[in-house]
Amino acid sequence: MKAQSSKGTLGFLAAAGLAAGMVVSAASAEVRVQIVHAAPFADSLEGTSVTVTANGGTVLEDFQFKAFTDYLTLPAGDYDLAVIPTGATDPAIEASVTLESGTDYTVIATGDGVNQPLTLWPLVDNVDAPATGNLNIRVVHAAPFADSSEATEVSIRTAGGVVVNDLVGVPYFAQSGFFEIPAGNYDLKVASNDGGTNFIDPVAADLPAGVNLTVIAIGDGVNQPLGILALPVGELPVQLPVDNSVTGWWASRDTEREGFILQPIPAENRIVGTIYSWDPAGSGEQAWYTFDGTIADRTATAEVQAFAGGQFLGTDPIEGAVIGTVDFEFLACDNILATLTLDDGGEFVWDLARMTQTLPCALD
Cα separation of 271 and 269, whole Å?
Answer: 7
Phi, psi of 237 (to 5 degrees): -65, 140
Look up the domain containing 98 and give its range: 4-238
Query: Which pLDDT does position 357 carry in this prediction?
Result: 77
What are the tens digits of pLDDT across the range 251-286? 999 888 889 999 999 999 999 999 988 776 667 677
Does position 230 have pLDDT exceeding 50, yes or no? yes
Judge if 170 and 293 occupy the same domain.
Answer: no
Cα separation of 217 and 312, whole Å?
Answer: 52
Cβ neighbours of residue 250 closer than 8 Å, sequence gap 6 or more: 259, 260, 261, 262, 336, 352, 353, 354, 355
Of the residues 198, 219, 238, the one at which a domain ends = 238
For the entire predicted model, the pTM comes to: 0.86
Of the residues 186, 214, 238, the one at which a domain ends = 238
Host H or E run for residue 16: helix 12-16
Residue 182 lies in a domain: yes
Q: Which of 84, 356, 36 is nearest to 218 (CA)?
A: 36
What are the tens digits of pLDDT across the range 42-75? 999 999 999 999 999 999 999 999 999 999 999 9
What are the tens digits of pLDDT across the range 173-221? 999 999 999 999 999 999 999 999 999 999 999 999 999 999 999 999 9
Cβ neighbours of residue 288 closer than 8 Å, sequence gap 6 or more: 274, 275, 276, 277, 306, 307
Residue 226 lies in a domain: yes
Residue 65 lies in a domain: yes
Domain count within the chain: 2
Examine residue 232 and say whether the peptide bond preceding it is cis (omega within 30 degrees of 0): yes
Query: Which pLDDT does position 28 carry in this prediction?
Result: 53
Judge if 215 and 67 occupy the same domain.
Answer: yes
- DSSP 3-state of 343: coil
